[in-house]
Amino acid sequence: MKVLRDLLRDYRFTASFIILCILLAYSSLSFFSPIDPTVWVAIARDQPPSSQHLLGTDSRGIDIFWSGAFAIRNSLIVALVAGVVSRFITIPVAMLAGYKGGMTDRVLMFISDSFLVIPLFLIIVLLAVLIRENLSLVTLGLLLACFGWAWDARVIRSEILSLRERGFTQTAILSGSGTMQLALKEYMPFVTPLVFATLINVMAWAIGLEITLAILGLIKLDIPTLGTMIFWALSYQAILLGRWYWLLTPVILSVLLFIALYWLSVSSSEYLDPRSRIQRVGQSLRA
């Protein structure tokens, strides 16, 4: 509770917290949706916003309000799968490279550097072109997870590298701790905030790529996501025909989501980063 109160002092955290709560509530409405967002022309097409259709309907005869709710949910699923699964690559790679050092470190860092250096977008496109029919939410998430771990692994590895040089590593070894104990008990408390902050970044990155791939028509287009909503609005010329509400809904939703995720990441990592926090307190006390 105290943590939350402290965090709420940061305007960025407060804003992102509120936006995310609203977006989550909105997306959870999709579980009670009266319509199926994949069925075309069940209702009148191209209706402007009204009390019956809060955000109007699109040219396919789908209610925009409800497909927005599904879109957020589905985009978040992609992001969560990509974010969480990539942690299972990031953390072991970072721990191994940072702690073992030497040849292990060099090989692992070469691989992750290669991932950073190569224009991943093109490789993902290449893959997506080949498997586009099978690119469901979870597959897309998994695909992105395979590519979204390298930067974070680098960040966490350099943290481990500096932790390894700290005195308490030697104290732990002299206390009889093995490598696993060292990693979990000594290093995890330092690494957790980083893992969390980078997780949010990867999620935002995944949502952005989902949108881009969808606009290029490279994922399953009948699943409502933020990206596919934009895709359909564009392919039905929604701007030229004055159906702004159709295009604006997914665009505004995604902008809100990006800002909220980014601010959450920045504010919470600033708060959680034990180094900066301890330094701040420590420095002021030593005076």
Partner 1 sequence: MLFIRRYLIPRLIQYVLVIFVGITAVFFIPRLLPTDPVARTIAELRSRGSYLDPASIDAMVADLTEMYGLEGSSFDQYIAFWQRLFRGDFGVSFFQFPTPVIQLIKAALPWTLGLLLVTTAIAWTAGILLGGVAGYFNRQGWSRALDVLAMVVRPMPYYVFAFILLLLFGYIFPLFPVAGGASIGRQPSFSWPYISDVLRHAFLPAMSLIILGVTAWFQTMKLVVQNLNAADFVQYARFGGIKERRIVSRYVIRNGMLPQITALALLIGQIFSGALITEIVFTYPGLGTLLYNAIMTGDYNLIMGITVFSIVAITTAILVIDLLYPLFDPRIRYN
Partner 2 sequence: MDKIILTTRQLKAFYLLDIHGRQKVVKAVNEVELEILENEIYGIAGESGCGKSTLLKTLAAVVEPPLRQLEGKVIYHINGEEVDVSTLGDEEMRRLRWEFVSYVPQGSMNVLNPVVKLKDTYHDFISSHVKGKSQEETFRMAKAYIAELGLPAEIMGAYPHQLSGGMRQRVTIALATLLRPKIIIADEPTTALDVIVQRGVMQLLKDIQQKLQNTIILVTHDMGVHANVADRIGIMYAGKIVEEAPTEKIFSQPLHPYTQFLINSLPKFGDKTPRQSVPGSPPSLADLPTGCPFHPRCPQVLDICKEQMPAYIAAAADHKVACWLVEEENGQAA
Partner 3 sequence: MDKLLEVKNLTKVFSLGSISSRIRITATDDVSFYIKPAEIFTLAGESGCGKTTTAKMILGFEEPTAGAIIHKGKLRTKKEKVWFTEGIQAIFQDPFGTFNPLRTVDRYFFETIQNFKLAGNKKTAVELIDRKLKAVGLSYEEFAGKYPNEFSGGQLQRISIARSLLTDPTLLIADEPVSMVDASLRMSIVNLFKKLKEEFGMSVLYITHDLATAYYVSDRIAIMFRGNIVEMGTVEQVLMQPRHPYTQMLRDSIPEADPRRRWRGRVNLNETEREEYLKQGCRYAGRCPLVMDVCRQEVPADIQVDNVLVKCHNYSEGVIA
Residues lying near partner 1 in the complex (CB under 8 A): 12, 110, 113-114, 116-123, 125-127, 129-131, 204, 207-209, 211-212, 215-218, 230, 239, 251, 254-255, 258-259, 261-263, 266
Q: What is the C-alpha to C-alpha distance for residues 8 and 241, in angstroms, rounded to an integer?
A: 43
- Indicate whether 172 belongs to the interface with partner 3 (CB under 8 A): yes
Q: Is 95 left (phi over 0), alpha (psi -120 to 50) or beta?
A: alpha
Q: What is the C-alpha to C-alpha distance for residues 6 and 10, in angstroms, rounded to an integer?
A: 8
Q: Please, which residue, 107 or 281, has the CB nearer to partner 2? A: 281
Phi, psi (degrees; rounded to nearest 5) at 150: -65, -50
| 239 binding partner (options partner 2, partner 1, partner 3, none; Cβ < 5 to 8 Å by kind) | partner 1
Q: Please, which residue, 10 or 105, has the CB nearer to partner 2? A: 10
Q: Please, which residue, 189 or 242, has the CB nearer to partner 3? A: 189
| 131 binding partner (options partner 3, partner 1, partner 2, none; Cβ < 5 to 8 Å by kind) | partner 1
- Indicate whether 102 belongs to the interface with partner 3 (CB under 8 A): no
Phi, psi (degrees; rounded to nearest 5) at 168: -70, -20
- Indicate whether 185 belongs to the interface with partner 3 (CB under 8 A): yes
| 181 binding partner (options partner 2, partner 1, partner 3, none; Cβ < 5 to 8 Å by kind) | partner 3
End-to-end CA distance of the chain, in Å?
A: 30
Q: Judge contact between 64 and 70, C-beta under 8 A.
A: no
Q: What is the C-alpha to C-alpha distance for residues 147 and 151, in angstroms, rounded to an integer?
A: 10
Window of 126-134, 153-161, 179-187, 220-228 that interacts with partner 3 by CB under 8 A? 179-187
- Indicate whether 48 belongs to the interface with partner 3 (CB under 8 A): no
Q: What is the C-alpha to C-alpha distance for residues 87 and 205, in angstroms, rounded to an integer?
A: 14
Q: Please, which residue, 28 or 235, has the CB nearer to partner 1? A: 235
Cβ neighbours of residue 239 closer than 8 Å, sequence gap 6 or more: 233, 247
Phi, psi (degrees; rounded to nearest 5) at 63: -65, 130
Helix (H) or strand (E) holding 258: helix 244-272
CB of 6 to partner 2, least distance (A): 5
Single residue of 134, 170, 235, 276 touching partner 3 by CB under 8 A: 170
CB of 270 to partner 2, least distance (A): 12
- Indicate whether 117 belongs to the interface with partner 3 (CB under 8 A): no
Cβ neighbours of residue 10 closer than 8 Å, sequence gap 6 or more: 267, 270, 271
- How many CB atoms are located within 10 Å of the residue 159 CB? 18
- Indicate whether 3 belongs to the interface with partner 3 (CB under 8 A): no
Q: Please, which residue, 119 or 167, has the CB nearer to partner 3? A: 167
Phi, psi (degrees; rounded to nearest 5) at 193: -60, -40
| 175 binding partner (options partner 1, partner 2, partner 3, none; Cβ < 5 to 8 Å by kind) | partner 3
Binding footprint of partner 3 on the chain (CB under 8 A): 166-168, 170-177, 181, 185-186, 189-190, 274, 278, 281-282
